């Protein structure tokens, strides 16, 4: 089955530690996105990438880092510089092929990070 | 600033009754408008989109939405609600084809048996 896999589903971290969230897709999509979701705040874009070895900051990139070394993978690192990292993190992908962008995003099941 | 608003944090409806989840937008030009649904502790799923053409758009799970340019609205509707429709619904738009979506804050729909 094609889809997006995020891991781990739940993660606990101590303050001051970096943590990396995995996102893998087998949909052959060019674009990948990381969102942060907090109750009552909707989805906020952290980083996105439209091509391998290139990515752009979203609205709340501070304290986060990403890489896009392979088309299938877009890991997110939550660094110790992120002041309030406890949240639900969602990875998504989208096809850019064949004309205007359709706007249809495919989401993973999310990773819930809790800082102790 | 361009934005999308979901004026209701929560909507309650009885099973079998029609449901409406509201979305209004403030976007220059011709926006692309979307609805997504999120079930508890899950990722979002695409429901439907309006790009151009017929103002009434049909989507997944029996949902539909009507694009109303004069009222700058894109309300999500379903003729007969199911308990399984209970979820968080997000309206979103894209303007300028920059391949990013701008999201509303979400509306929690509760369908009561």
Chain A's closest residue to B92, CA to CA, is A103
Average pLDDT, whole number, for chain A?
A: 92
Summarised one tens digit per residue, pLDDT across range B64-110 is: 999 999 999 999 999 999 999 999 999 999 876 667 888 999 999 99
- Residues 6+ away with beta carbon under 8 Å from A54: A68
Summarised one tens digit per residue, pLDDT across range B51-64 is: 888 899 999 999 99
Alpha-carbon distance of A57 to A36, in angstroms, equals 13
C-alpha of B8 from chain center = 12
Q: What is the mean pLDDT of residues A22-51?
A: 94
What is residue B2's predicted lDDT score, i.e. its pLDDT? 84
Task: State whether B44 and A45 contact (CB < 8 Å).
Answer: no
Q: Is residue A93's pLDDT more than 80?
A: yes
Q: Is residue A1's pLDDT more than 70?
A: no
What is residue A92's predicted lDDT score, i.e. its pLDDT? 96
Cα end-to-end span (Å), chain B: 40
Chain A's closest residue to B90, CA to CA, is A42
Buried b (16+ CB within 10 A) or exposed e, B79-110: eebeeebbbbbbbbbbbeeebbbbbbbbbebe
% of chain A with per-residue pLDDT over 70: 97
Asked if B8 has any chain A CB less than 8 Å from its own CB, the reply is no
């Amino acid at each position: 089955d094609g889809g997006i896999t995020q891991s781990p589903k739940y993660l606990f971290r101590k303050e001051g530690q970096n943590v990396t969230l995995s996102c893998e897709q087998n949909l052959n999509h060019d674009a990948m996105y990381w969102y942060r979701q907090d109750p009552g705040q909707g989805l906020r874009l952290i980083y996105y990438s439209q091509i391998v070895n290139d990515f752009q900051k979203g609205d709340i990139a501070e304290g986060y880092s990403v890489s896009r070394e392979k088309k299938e993978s877009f890991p997110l690192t939550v660094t110790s510089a992120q002041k309030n990292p406890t949240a639900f993190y969602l990875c998504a992908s989208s096809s850019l092929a064949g004309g205007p962008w359709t706007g249809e995003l495919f989401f993973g099941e999310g990773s819930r990070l809790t800082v102790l | 600033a361009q934005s999308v608003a979901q004026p209701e944090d929560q909507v309650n409806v009885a099973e079998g009754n029609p449901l409406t989840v509201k979305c209004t937008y403030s976007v220059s030009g011709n926006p692309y408008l979307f609805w997504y649904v999120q079930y508890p502790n899950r990722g979002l799923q695409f429901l439907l989109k309006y790009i151009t053409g017929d103002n009434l758009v049909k989507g997944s799970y029996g949902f539909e939405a009507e694009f109303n340019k004069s009222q700058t609205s894109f309300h999500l509707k379903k003729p007969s609600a199911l308990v399984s429709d209970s979820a968080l619904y997000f309206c979103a738009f894209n303007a300028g084809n920059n391949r990013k979506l701008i999201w509303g804050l979400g509306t929690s729909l509760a369908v009561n048996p």
